A and B are shown apart, each in its own frame.
Chain A
Amino acid sequence: MSNATTSVPPPTRTVATRNLGLIALGGSVVLAMLGLFFTAEDVDQGSSVRIMYVHVPTAWVAYLAFVFTAACSAGHLWGKKHSLNLDRLAGASAEVGVIFMGVTLVTGSLWGRLSWGTYWQWDPRLTTTAFLFVTYVGYLAVRGLGGTHQQRAKRSAIVAMFAVLEIPLVHFSVLIWRSLHQEATVLRPNGDVTMDGLMLFTLVFGVAVFTTIFAWLVLHRNRVLALLDAVELRGIDAALAVRRAEEVTP
């Protein structure tokens, strides 16, 4: 058993993450104001273009999350210590990524209904995104298989590596599948639209806000996962002791 599993888990809150959470909250409010009231309507799409300020950032964060999961998994597999913390970070990041990707798919299909007139298009990007979503749902299922923490870590790290191999292949094959079967009929939502300054700023700002939310969620989820592991290893008493110790020092 490695040291990581027996050391005292980190507290579930720090000043730094509380401030990060406040920044994320404030940013979300500003983003909502910008997206809903201050940015102009689109010439063709009207107000429905405002979905973009959630859709694009969540997609970006989901991809970031999966890259982060892969990086942490690689770090676990090839690192000398086979750090369990990296494994938990990979798991936390994948969980948040799956949620954000779900939001991307839902907002995307709503937006598609409004601008293309249909909830779903067999567009390579859409299809790959759906596959990515299912693949990481599978990854999370592998994490729940049970066994010791080191077993879980090694197993899920290998599955994460396979997922990284799969995704480019799926994307490439869907791409050539589509290019043969259908002319480019999909109306690119942003491609032919010149974005005005405030819209572009709001979009970039949205990416920054959602990345902050991602970081905040992953940090907290990571701590909770560490506590969960501690519960399994040392029983509920030890975990309670940690929480009680926190209460004394605010």
Chain B
Amino acid sequence: MTMSRIIAVARAVASKDLRIEWRSRVMTNQVLPFAAIVMVLFAFALDNDGILQRVAPGLVWMATLFTSLVVVQRSFAVEAADSAIDALRLAGVPAQGVYLGKVAALVVQLVVFEAVLAVLALILYRVNVDVHGAVLLVTTCILASLGIAALAAVYGGLSVVGRGRETLLPLLLLPAVAPVLIGATRATESAFGSDGARVVEGWPWVGLLAVFGAIFLFGGTLGFGPLTDE
């Protein structure tokens, strides 16, 4: 009973978040161009086709992390505005549902951004992906996004309740997602075949991403309620 209620709330929150983003067009008109310009700026900074090709996986994930900060801040700015989070709390719905819904919406948005960034890497940095690599890449994107979103939703929840919050999120989130950066970059290296890496070498890193995502999804489900319920 409770489980189905949590899932129902999660679905409602996720679809609300995605509908807001779809209608406001902030993501497509502002964040997506930001992600693209970051990829172009990397090329200016490194200024060497060979190096770009080799470090492309790292650049894709650095750009993803930067973009995720904007996405998460926006996801919770929506709740802070007009005290929407209070309305959510007054609705008497389980906090786990709100958390899982937030995470789901974040995962969808992050996967979209990663897809765009990966395509940009293919075009701008001239990397190649075969079919096996593409499967690895898609799995990596989904699991890495889950890990980032699971943690980011908790720390984003903090930013709704406290003062001086915008600057706090990067400080809390970036060190914590270092394992995601390491795992996702190595897996993407295998998918892109950078430095002669083979696709099979990427799968153990996907395991690391899965463990990370599972731990923090569990921790966040427990911690989000007490954190925002004040």
Chain A residues, CB < 8 A from B172: 138, 141-142, 159
Cβ-neighbour of B182 out of A155, A165, A173 (below 8 A): A173
Known: A134-B171, A138-B175, A141-B171. Contact between A155 and B215, CB under 8 A?
no
Per DSSP, chain B at the interface is helix
Distance, CA A223 to CA B178, complexed state (A): 36
> Interface stretch among A52-60, A104-112, A144-152, A240-248?
A144-152
Query: Is B161 within 8 A of A151, CB to CB?
Result: yes
With A147-B161, A177-B182: A131-B171 Cβ-Cβ less than 8 Å: no
- Give Cα A147–Cα B160 distance, bound, in whole angstroms: 12
Give the number of residue pairs across the A-B interface with Cβ within 8 Å: 84
Query: Cα distance A131–B172 when bound, in Å?
Result: 11
Comparing B37-45, B92-100, B113-121, B222-230, the segment that makes contact with chain A is B222-230
Quick one: given A145-B165, A147-B162, are A170 and B179 in contact (CB under 8 Å)? yes
Is the Cβ of A161 less than 8 Å from the Cβ of B161?
no
Contact B158 A142 (CB under 8 A): yes
What 0/1 readout, one digit per residue, does chain B (151-193) give for beta carbons within 8 Å of chain A? 1001000100111110010011001101100110010000000
Number of interface residues of B (CB under 8 A): 28
**Complex interface residues of chain A between 157 and 178 (CB less than 8 A to chain B):** 158-159, 161-162, 165-166, 169-170, 172-174, 176-177
Contact for B171 among A137, A145, A151, A154, CB less than 8 A? A137
Residues of A in contact with B, size category: 20 to 34
Known: A138-B172, A166-B176. A173 touches B183 (CB 8 A): yes
Contact of B223 among A147, A158, A172 (CB under 8 A): A158
Compute how far the CA of A159 lies from the CA of B172 in the bound complex, rounded to whole angstroms: 9
Asked if A170 and B219 make an inter-chain contact with CB atoms under 8 angstroms apart, the answer reads no
A135 at the interface (CB under 8 A from B): yes
Query: What are the residues of chain A within 8 A of B226 when measuring CB–CB?
Result: 77, 154, 158
**In the complex, what residues of B have CB within 8 A of residue A176's CB?**
208
B contact residues vs A (CB 8 Å cutoff): 151, 154, 158, 161-165, 168, 171-172, 175-176, 178-179, 182-183, 186, 208, 211-212, 215-216, 219, 223, 226-227, 230
